[in-house]
Amino acid sequence: MTLTRDLTVTESLRRLVFFLVGLMVVALLAGTVAVVGASQQVDRLVTLLGPANDANTSLLQTLTDAETGLRAYDATSNTTLLEPFNGAQKRAAAQQEALRTALGTDLPQWSGRLKAQDDAIAAWWAYANQARARLAVEGNLDLLTGKQLFDDVRRTNGQVGKDLQAQRVEARAASTDELRTALLLLVGGTLLASVLALWAGWRIARSLSASIEALRHVVHLQRLGDRDVRADEHEGPLDVRGLAADFNHLTETTRMLEEDQREALRMGEVTLGLATRLRGRVAAHEALALTASTLGEATGTTAAIFTTPISDHDGTTWRLAASWPEDALDESKVVLQPPVSRESIAKGLWLSGRLLESADVANDELRHQPLIRSLADQLPIGALLGTPFGVGDGVIGAMMLIAPEPRTWTTHERTALQQVTAHTARAFLAEERQAQQVEHVARLEALDRQKDEFVGTVSHELRTPLTSIAGYLEMLADGDLGELSPAQLKAMAVIERNTFRLRGLIEDVLVLNRIETRGLDPSFVPVDLAQLVRDVVQDLQPQARDNEVTLDVSDLPQTCVVEGDALQLGRALTNVVGNAVKFSKSGGLVVVSVVVELDAVRIRCRDSGIGIPAADMEQMFSRFFRASNATSGAIPGTGLGLAIVKAIIEAHHGELELHSVEGEGTTVSLTLPLSTRT
């Protein structure tokens, strides 16, 4: 049996099994044939030769008994002794017929011998019957003739018996030989099949184990890091070679994936490194040059960046902003004109998110574009990869990678190009946005200064007519201009009250404007804060009585000195305590306390007034902002009080805290550093 290399192990085993089964079947068939032959010989021996021999022996015995009885009767005349002779002829004839029947299909080959025996028996019966007749009339036997005739019977019968015995021996020998042959065929076939099975199994096992061992060795080398080793696809069974081919394919795929991952990591590091450097607020031209050199070096290509100013709304004014290597392109020889414009290819690519890509420019329609032709005049262009970059719908630039030979661009190169240009766009825009911001801030500052100057001017201009109005009101009230009726006096009181409010508003605006524009006088002097609190509380007692509010002072030290402006600090305290009195309901309580701490003094003013809604707390220090419940309650005010307090306290390096619960009251805390003068 030949095991071919084009068979799988399964097919080889299947063929081996079929061959062994066939061999066993042949051996079994041959053995069966031999057994059938032996069975036929045994059957002939048992059913033909044996019965024939028995019939022949019985025939001789019957004839012998008849001859013996005849002679005994001749000698003794005793009829009893003649008994065996009587009916012997019929018995002999029956036995002769039985002999012929037993011989069956072999009868033709025995016809000559049986005829000789039949003739001898017939001759003896003729003699015997005549002799029996003579003896009946007291005659004598012719013994010599009878002996001669019976000897012929014995001779012919013996010959038949001898031939039957010979054939019996022959049949036994044939059956024995055929049984031996069947046994030899069965044993030989089994041994041959076993030997062939062992040999074929050894061949298959050796081929399979050698191939598997070689494959295992390759796997071991792969595990140790040898990525170049490959399994032998030409040795071993077909399925093992197929397994080796699959392993090599998997190894190659793994190698390609590892290379792809390494490339992805490399390009990722390039992109991340560039993004990090661009976040360092480099100038736009430096960012473009850095981008071109970084990506050009990473991809082994020539890199070129074209930009168009943001102010160019048509996007048709392009320039070569950077290239790598730096002297790779001469801008004067580059054709920068449509269709490379913001409104054509660049914008179309930018809005669609696609790339301008060609693996073989020589066989691409791109080669006919003026820009590509002008680039090809300066350097070989085999492959091209480009993308626009910008923000929103606007394109501000485009970057191209140019390879000297045709090549396929990888996914990581495409991704890196898009990510890098995105970072570049942000850096490019940051500079222009920063310039715009600087200009915008300068304009805002100028507007703010103009506003402050306008407020200051208007406030000063309003003070003069207010002073005149107040003077004339005082003259009218004193009766210098004639007596006034009660209705006129009432109207005068309203005018005087609103004039006072307007004067306070103007004064607050002037103070706040002065503090924010020029700040307080840096030459602070020692101020006795305890005495200042006493004065403020004393000044506001009439207002508290008018509002039916109790104004009290607690924990007031004898003296407490801070560095500052007494007038401004007094204004801040007046605003805080005045607000507490104004927003307290009739029967309410306002408590002012002064607590000296380690290196600071804390003034706390607590009232039981209307409080401040939680939603308004964040805006309470904004100019002209008033709490919603104060507005709805029509409580007069300008919304400047806390803004002025905050500005004064912060100018004195202090802190202002505000805590309030709507409907329960408000607590304002002013913390100022103690004077270090001794």
Match 């270090």 to its residue by tokens: 676
How distant is the alpha carbon of residue 121 from its chain centre? 111
- Does residue 231 form part of some domain? no
Residue at which a domain ends, from 206, 234, 252: 206
Domain check: are 423 and 560 in the same one?
no
Q: Can you list the residues of the chain whose pLDDT is less than 50?
A: 1-4, 313, 315, 338-345, 347-348, 350-352, 522
Distance CA 678, CA 668 (A): 30
399: closest CA among 410, 380, 408, 386? 386
- Does residue 147 form part of some domain? yes
Beta-carbon neighbour count of residue 550 at 10 Å?
Answer: 15
Whether pTM exceeds 0.85: no
- Does residue 215 form part of some domain? no
Match 């071991």 to its residue by tokens: 220
- What the block records as the tokens of 484 is 């006034």
For 50-88, the three-class secondary structure string (H helix, E strand, C coil) is: HHHHHHHHHHHHHHHHHHHHHHHHHHHCCHHHHCCCCCH
Range of the domain at 652: 519-673
- Does residue 1 form part of some domain? no
Domain check: are 163 and 274 in the same one?
no
In sequence order, what are the residues at sequence separation of 6 or more whose Cβ sits closer than 8 angstroms to the Cβ of residue 172? 41, 45
- Does residue 481 form part of some domain? no
Residue 658 zone, left/alpha/beta (φ > 0; ψ -120 to 50; rest): beta
670: closest CA among 613, 592, 559, 614? 592
Distance CA 449, CA 452 (A): 5
pLDDT computed for residue 295 by the predictor:
85
DSSP state of 674: B
Domain check: are 314 and 426 in the same one?
yes
Residue at which a domain ends, from 154, 174, 206: 206
Distance CA 439, CA 435 (A): 6
Domain check: are 190 and 282 in the same one?
no
In sequence order, what are the residues at sequence separation of 6 or more whose Cβ sits closer than 8 angstroms to the Cβ of residue 120? 149, 152, 153, 155, 156, 157
Domain check: are 540 and 432 in the same one?
no
Q: Which amino acid is at 115?
A: K
pLDDT computed for residue 604 by the predictor:
92
pLDDT computed for residue 663 by the predictor:
83
Q: Which amino acid is at 281?
A: R
Distance CA 317, CA 424 (A): 19
Domain check: are 631 and 545 in the same one?
yes
Domain check: are 49 and 188 in the same one?
yes
pLDDT computed for residue 323 by the predictor:
83
546: closest CA among 576, 571, 581? 581
Residue 104 zone, left/alpha/beta (φ > 0; ψ -120 to 50; rest): left
pLDDT computed for residue 345 by the predictor:
46
- Does residue 84 form part of some domain? yes
Distance CA 381, CA 404 (A): 5
Domain check: are 185 and 325 in the same one?
no
CATH number of the domain to which 404 belongs? 3.30.450.40
Domain check: are 169 and 278 in the same one?
no
CATH number of the domain to which 532 belongs? 3.30.565.10
For 352-414, the three-class secondary structure string (H helix, E strand, C coil) is: HCCCEEECCHHHCHHHHCHHHHHHHCCCCCCEEEEEEEEECCEEEEEEEEEECCCCCCCHHHH
pLDDT computed for residue 459 by the predictor:
57
User: Is the separation of the CB atoms in 662 and 613 below 8 Å?
Assistant: yes
Domain check: are 282 and 196 in the same one?
no
- Inter-residue long-range contacts of 78-87, CB under 8 Å, 24+ positions, other chains counted: 82/132, 85/128, 85/132
Residue at which a domain ends, from 157, 187, 206: 206
- Does residue 176 form part of some domain? yes
- Does residue 254 form part of some domain? no
Count of domains forming the chain: 3
Domain check: are 15 and 154 in the same one?
yes
Domain check: are 404 and 283 in the same one?
yes
